Amino acid sequence: MESNSRLVRVTTADLRKVLASLKSERDSLSKVYSSEVKGVLESSQQCFQVAGLDYSSITGAIDNTFKTLNTNLTSLIDVLENDVIKNYDELLDALRQKFGAQFASQMQSLLGLR
**Alpha-carbon distances of 95 from 15, 16, 103, rounded to whole Å:** 19, 20, 8
Can you give the C-alpha Rg of the chain in angstroms?
A: 23
Question: For 9-24, what is each residue's pLDDT tens digit?
Answer: 778 889 999 999 999 9
Q: Averaged over 98-106, what is the pLDDT?
A: 72
Spatial distance between the Cα atoms of 40 and 102, rounded to a whole number of angstroms? 60
Does residue 5 surpass a pLDDT of 70? no
C-alpha of 72 from chain center: 9
Spatial distance between the Cα atoms of 19 and 25, rounded to a whole number of angstroms? 10
Question: For 31-43, what is each residue's pLDDT tens digit?
Answer: 999 999 999 999 9
